[in-house]
Amino acid sequence: MRLFTKITLSFFLISFIIICSISIVNFIHTRNLVEKEISNKISAISKTLAQNINLTKKNLNENINKLCKDLDLAFIVIIDKDKKRLSHPNKELIGKLVEGEDSDEALNGKHYISIAKGSLKRSIRSFSPIYKDEKIVGAVIVGVFSDYLDILTFNENKINLYLSIFFILLILLLSVLLNKNIKNILLGYEPKQFRLLLQRQNAILKSLNEGIIAIDNKNTITLINDEAKKIFKLALLEDDLIGKNVDEKIPHSNMSEVLKTKKAQINKKQKLNDITILTNRIPYFIDGKIAGVVASFKNLKDVEKIANKLVNTKKYLDILSANHHEFKNKLHIINALLENNNIKQCKKYLEEISYKQSTNTKSLECFIKDKIILTFLESKFNFIKEFKVDIILDKNSFLNPINNVLLQNDIISILSNTIDNALDALQHTNNKKIKVFIKNNKKYLCIKVSDNANKLKDCEKIFTKGYSSKGENRGYGLFICSEIANKNNGFISVKSHNKDTVFSIFITLKEEND
């Protein structure tokens, strides 16, 4: 049985039992009052008759029966001292003896009330002795049937009975409404389902690689996951924040602003002491009214690591695509030579390609000892040569192995962006040339990329984010190089003269590149 049904039935049954119990107690109390009132009435009648009756009077039975009817009684029986009936509603019993011993005490001079079954049916009876000349000559028995008491009791409790039925129906209606209300509150879920949902939510929050924090519409923190606690610890902030005001505990959170404006804030930078996070702040609503704000955030350094990996992966893909295009063109040439039966020319062409590739690889291997950057430069040089550009590595270059993956990514990003920038600058230049210089020692790394394009304009602006003379959605490559240089305690500069532009990047290295 579903919980909603159990609660509804329990509520109805408890209320029903209470109302029935009250009704039964009230009925019993009323019955006792009615019985007491009837007992007093028949007692008074029996005493009065006993004092005033004349047993020798003619038509005694008719007079007594008429009096019984007038007083709305069940019966009045007159007996003599020998227990012989002198008056009775049933004429056939007149002159016959009273059954049982109920009347014995009355003939002994005692007045009392008895409830028992007589010659008619069960009744409540009052016995009073009849005296004449201070001697007991008989007794008066005045009675009312028990079912008459039930009728009187029902009539007295009629309103209470109707009220009980009304309240029972009302409770039934309230039970149905309670059932619907509980369903709405629990969104139709059973408590077991709610427990599973809560456990699932906690598992999801723990598995997320992002910090999550939530507040209600009073700026009170209601939820915080383990990743958020880790970030707060790194930022030297308190991590036990449940039930506390977000503005007081987390500086510049702006969650209260989202609560007021009801507008989400996406990919916003936020300072937490010495740590910068990238955060999304989303308001949530219940029944159309704002109920709070949820913020998800990540250490900006982690985001930048992922972004760099994605950028470099894309660059690798571009280079592989270029190599694929280059090899495809060469295969077309080889295929054409073979179809025309030019075996000697084909052989000569293959030897030239092999020699050229071997020469380029060997020249780079002599100066670049880091295998990842060597692989990148080989692919990049081949890609650039597809555009009829003479690209060379300066003979004074020498790169020792780099033991830091992040630094490798930074170097590849700098080389890729500066070489691409030089290629763009050479679009309208004849005899296109690019020279690359790279060298490192234990403390520093230097990269220089030069080209023979026309003199640059606005040299002071070219490192600004989004600035470009080549159109919209450009101007990010050199900005990224500048950011990398600044991040590594270095700098970037440019010198541009007619047919000679040089970009220089200097980076401070940590010991053993760690």
Q: Which of 436, 370, 462 is nearest to 407 (CA)?
A: 370
- Tell me how crowded residue 333 is: count the other CB atoms within 10 A of its CB: 14
Q: Which of 292-296, 385-389, 417-421, 466-470 has the lowest mean pLDDT?
A: 466-470
pLDDT of residue 470: 59
Most confidently modeled range among 13-27, 82-96, 492-506: 492-506
pLDDT surpasses 70 at 464:
yes
Would the CA dihedral through 205, 211, 217, 220 be positive or negative?
positive
- Give pLDDT tens digits for 420-456: 888 988 888 888 999 999 999 888 999 999 999 888 8
pLDDT surpasses 50 at 49:
yes
| Rounded mean pLDDT, 147-151 | 78
Element (H, E) at 319: helix 300-339
pLDDT of residue 282: 92
pLDDT surpasses 90 at 506:
yes
pLDDT of residue 513: 47
| Rounded mean pLDDT, 386-408 | 88
Q: How confident is the model at residue 361 (pLDDT cuts 50, 70, 90)?
A: low
DSSP β-ladder status, 211-216 and 85-87 = unpaired
- Tell me how crowded residue 455 is: count the other CB atoms within 10 A of its CB: 11
Higher pLDDT, 437 or 84: 437
Alpha carbon dihedral 318, 320, 325, 327, in 10-degree steps, equals 160
Q: Is 275 exposed, middle or buried (0-12, 13-18, 19+ CB in 10 A)?
A: middle
- Report CA 480 to chain centroid distance, whole Å: 41
Q: How confident is the model at residue 292 (pLDDT cuts 50, 70, 90)?
A: very high
Residue 258's alpha-carbon distances to 51, 216, 263, 265, 315, in angstroms, are: 98, 12, 6, 7, 38
Q: How confident is the model at residue 319 (pLDDT cuts 50, 70, 90)?
A: low
Q: How confident is the model at residue 322 (pLDDT cuts 50, 70, 90)?
A: low
DSSP letter string, 193-258: HHHHHHHHHHHHHHH-SSEEEEEETTSBEEEE-HHHHHHHHHTT-----TTSBHHHHSTT--HHHH
Q: Where are the alpha helices (DSSP H) in 55-212?
A: 60-70, 104-107, 146-156, 158-185, 191-207
Q: Is 239 exposed, middle or buried (0-12, 13-18, 19+ CB in 10 A)?
A: middle
pLDDT surpasses 80 at 367:
yes
Q: Which of 302-306, 313-317, 388-392 has the lowest mean pLDDT?
A: 313-317
pLDDT surpasses 80 at 203:
no
- Tell me how crowded residue 233 is: count the other CB atoms within 10 A of its CB: 11
Q: Which of 292, 301, 198 is nearest to 246 (CA)?
A: 292
pLDDT surpasses 90 at 87:
no
Q: How confident is the model at residue 281 (pLDDT cuts 50, 70, 90)?
A: very high
pLDDT of residue 514: 46
Q: How confident is the model at residue 231 (pLDDT cuts 50, 70, 90)?
A: confident
Q: What strands lie across the sheet with 211-216, from one edge to the other?
A: 221-224, 211-216, 289-299, 275-286, 265-272
Q: How confident is the model at residue 200 (pLDDT cuts 50, 70, 90)?
A: confident
Q: Which residue has the tokens 């919980």?
A: 3
pLDDT surpasses 60 at 413:
yes
pLDDT of residue 473: 45
Higher pLDDT, 157 or 286: 286
Higher pLDDT, 227 or 150: 227
Q: Is the pTM of this model over 0.85?
A: no
User: How much is the mean pLDDT over the chain?
Assistant: 82
Q: Which of 169-178, 290-299, 476-485 has the lowest mean pLDDT?
A: 169-178
- Report CA 331 to chain centroid distance, whole Å: 60
